[in-house]
Structure 1
Amino acid sequence: MRDRSAPRALIVLLTTACAVIALFGLREVASIAGPVVLALVLVIAVSPVRGWLDRRGSPTWVQVAVPFLIVVMVLLGMVAVLTVSVTQLAAILPTYATQFQELLAEAQRFAISHGISNEQLNKAIQSYDPARVLGIVQTLLSSLLSVLSSLFLMAVLLLAMSLDAPATAKILAASRTHRPALATALTTFASRTRRYLVVSTVFGLICSALDVGALALLGVPLPLLWGVLALITTYIPNIGFVLGLLPPALLALLDSGPRQMILVIVAYSVINVVFQSFILPKYLGDAVGLSTTMTLLSLIVWTFVLGPLGALLAIPLSLLTRALLIDSDPSAGWAATLISGGSASPPAPSPDPSDTAGTR
């Protein structure tokens, strides 16, 4: 019998084309899709609280109100700290214009003494605006604030998802009979996402506290702001540490010179490398289920699609995509092996109501 199946190359091209269309479609509605995914991830993070209240026989309104208030209070606290700190930063940055010009002059003299022509340096210096360079930090922090600017929309979504959590848990529990692979994939997604968030948050808080202490000892201005920034960048894979380091290092350079900047870099490197390279992987284990290459690609793709919020949610978004497209299909074990670089079989957690409640 003649094989009527489509050529594999055609299938790959059509799949790639559909993925590109879907990603560009998401990019067009990023202002809506981003808060929706963030609300979903936050509800997953606090779903064990709802499960604990449910097991203790608490009323439904308590199971909805307590997790909702926990998330809202955390978000409001971060917005308050960032807003006050960014306001202080905007006030002190213009005072460093003179120091910036002095650093440029010193760098110019150093370069000339090592054989670089003065004409080349003048062209390079003229291509940069000092105010624009000093505004890099403000731009970065403004992007972080824009992530939290749609707080009202996220609050409404959080409330809606919290209200639906009990019913969603029952629906997913019932779906195990008819679609066991999909139910297991969604439960695994919730479990992995929650473990990733909890472990990253705990170690992020420890690293941030140590960073704040080191910056305070070194006399770097606004150490609390840089501590919050270090905590936020904990959720950005691969390059988060560098993004959290650049602003305080630059401010240390302007405030006290190259020696202070080097001390900040050394302190951040020691603290973050020890935790993120040696301790954090031990506790995360296989929770993420993504290879290093796939993690980096996830960061690039989701940042392109959703902007700064995509960078923060790169891992949860990739886990959700894996659950819906790969783990829910028993025949796609080869793809799971490819993206995880290890075992194709995802861990099958027990059907805990708190897990299923997190998957909206």
Structure 2
Amino acid sequence: MTVTAAAIPSRTTRLLIAGAALVVVVAGIKAANDIVAPVMFALALTIVFYPLRARLERRMPSWVASVIVLLAAIVLLLAMSLAIVVSIGRMAQLIPTYASDLDDLVADIGGGLTSMGVGSEQSDAMVDAASADQLTAVATSIFASVLALLSSLFFLVTLLVFLAFDSATVSRLASGAREHRPDMVDALASFAHGTRSYLGVSAVFGLIVAVIDTGLLFVLGVPGAFIWGVLAFVTNFIPNIGFVIGIIPPALIGLLEGGPSMMLSVIVLYSLVNLVIQSFIQPRYVGDAVGLSTSLTFLSLVFWTWILGPVGALLAVPMSLLFRAVLVEADPEGGWRLPLISGQPGETQDEPTVA
């Protein structure tokens, strides 16, 4: 049977088919976000702990290394769950004590807007949006969404058990697959390297920032210093706008507790810590492993938050790296797209190793 030229889909047709398939995949991910988010979270943890496993395997049997890595991941999950539970409980006690002060502040702002010529309907809408109840609901939903992910411990631990033991054969499986699909193996290795660098470094520096911020807030006398320290740690995983999200609650509490001077102190000290650690030191350790431009990183944050909910903000970079690996780096002819994605004209498709 001969195939005529007319029977071969044109390039435009292939692009349309690929675009339609991508839309279907994205819609499927959005529909199954309650499953996709824990799976991606477990996969990210496995990737982060893989170097530890590789070192342990040189000194002990593979199954012992798997058990140690599994226990380390579970301890991390439990610690994060406990910290967030304590923070939510403390925040639930703290915010109502400032409800009347916050309502008075918002009312004053609304009156000021009205005196400046803003219509009463618009100013009332702004006041309602910034009420204590609304702010409490937003903050609680963010914390609760992260807690919901961590509280699915049975599902997460089950996934981690399988992934911890299956990761023992990753290197051998990758070596076998490389003979048939070298580009895909290299792309997935690049995804693993970028995810490990981003999450690992973000966790270390997020912990450093959280400890420093908590100490500064405690010295300044801002109530709920531990809560805002946990928030600073969590928001360090959110690209671009994580610092802004993390600074608003303590600055607002500082305003209600000690007036504009305390709020200004919180903003200045937070900004100094962020400028030194997150803007100068942290990028030196992350390097170019992420390979996403600033604009694309922000768009990925918006997109994955829409797809996966608030947890998508934490998983935005790993999810984008996975799609970049599968759709761009795995394509032998897709190397020209990498500079467009990374924003670095000189970037080439390296040959990462599976480790």
1:262 correspondence with 2:247: no
Distance in 1 between residues matched to 2:133 and 2:110, nearest whole Å: 18
Distance in 1 between residues matched to 2:107 and 2:116, nearest whole Å: 14
CA contact (8 A) 1:27 1:306 kept: yes
Distance in 2 between residues matched to 1:205 and 1:249, nearest whole Å: 20
1:31 correspondence with 2:34: yes
Question: How far off its partner does 1:250 sit?
Answer: 2.3
User: 1:347 maps to which residue?
Assistant: 350
Distance in 2 between residues matched to 1:166 and 1:119, nearest whole Å: 63
Unmatched 5+ stretches in structure 2: none
| Cα gap change, 1:350 to 1:92, in 2 (>3 Å) | closer
Question: How far off its partner does 1:279 sit?
Answer: 2.2
In the TM superposition, what whole-angstrom CA distance separates every residue of 1:226-245 from its partner, at most 9, and x where no partner exists? Answer: 11111111111111111111
Distance in 2 between residues matched to 1:54 and 1:100, nearest whole Å: 56
Distance in 2 between residues matched to 1:59 and 1:21, nearest whole Å: 43
1:335 correspondence with 2:305: no
Distance in 2 between residues matched to 1:140 and 1:314, nearest whole Å: 15
148-157 or 260-269: bigger deviation:
260-269
Distance in 2 between residues matched to 1:69 and 1:17, nearest whole Å: 42
Matches within 5 A, 1:223-302: 223-302=225-304
Question: How far off its partner does 1:30 sit?
Answer: 0.7
CA contact (8 A) 1:99 1:255 kept: no
Helix, strand or coil at the partner of 1:279: helix
| Cα gap change, 1:127 to 1:48, in 2 (>3 Å) | closer
CA contact (8 A) 1:298 1:315 kept: yes
- How many residues end up aligned between the 2 structures? 351
1:51 correspondence with 2:54: yes
CA contact (8 A) 1:212 1:227 kept: yes
**Larger relative contact order (Cα-Cα within 8 Å, sequence gap ≥ 6):** 1
Question: How far off its partner does 1:35 sit?
Answer: 0.6
Distance in 2 between residues matched to 1:173 and 1:9, nearest whole Å: 35
User: 2:43 maps to which residue?
Assistant: 40
User: 2:94 maps to which residue?
Assistant: 92
One-letter amino acid of the counterpart of residue 263, structure 2: M
Question: How far off its partner does 1:42 sit?
Answer: 0.2
In the TM superposition, what whole-angstrom CA distance separates every residue of 1:34-78 from its partner, at most 9, and x where no partner exists? Answer: 11111000000001111011112x122211111111111011011
Question: How far off its partner does 1:191 sit?
Answer: 1.6
88-97 or 154-163: bigger deviation:
88-97
Distance in 2 between residues matched to 1:68 and 1:253, nearest whole Å: 44
Helix, strand or coil at the partner of 1:280: helix
In the TM superposition, what whole-angstrom CA distance separates every residue of 1:205-249 from its partner, at most 9, and x where no partner exists? Answer: 221121111111111112112111111111111111111112222
Question: How far off its partner does 1:94 sit?
Answer: 1.5
CA contact (8 A) 2:106 2:130 kept: no
151-160 or 167-176: bigger deviation:
167-176
Question: How far off its partner does 1:5 sit?
Answer: 5.8
In the TM superposition, what whole-angstrom CA distance separates every residue of 1:158-209 from its partner, at most 9, and x where no partner exists? Answer: 0110111112321112222222222222222212221222222222222112
Question: How far off its partner does 1:3 sit?
Answer: 7.9
CA contact (8 A) 2:29 2:307 kept: yes
In the TM superposition, what whole-angstrom CA distance separates every residue of 1:265-289 from its partner, at most 9, and x where no partner exists? Answer: 2221121122222222222221111
| Cα gap change, 1:186 to 1:85, in 2 (>3 Å) | same
Distance in 1 between residues matched to 2:135 and 2:311, nearest whole Å: 23
256-265 or 91-100: bigger deviation:
256-265
117-126 or 246-255: bigger deviation:
117-126
Distance in 1 between residues matched to 2:180 and 2:310, nearest whole Å: 38
Unmatched 5+ stretches in structure 1: 356-360
One-letter amino acid of the counterpart of residue 254, structure 1: L
User: 1:358 maps to which residue?
Assistant: none
Structure 1-normalised TM-score?
0.89
| Cα gap change, 1:74 to 1:296, in 2 (>3 Å) | same
Distance in 1 between residues matched to 2:124 and 2:291, nearest whole Å: 50
| Cα gap change, 1:73 to 1:177, in 2 (>3 Å) | same
Helix, strand or coil at the partner of 1:331: coil
Question: How far off its partner does 1:115 sit?
Answer: 5.5
Q: Which of residues 124, 131, 138 is equivalent to 1:136? A: 138
User: 1:322 maps to which residue?
Assistant: 324
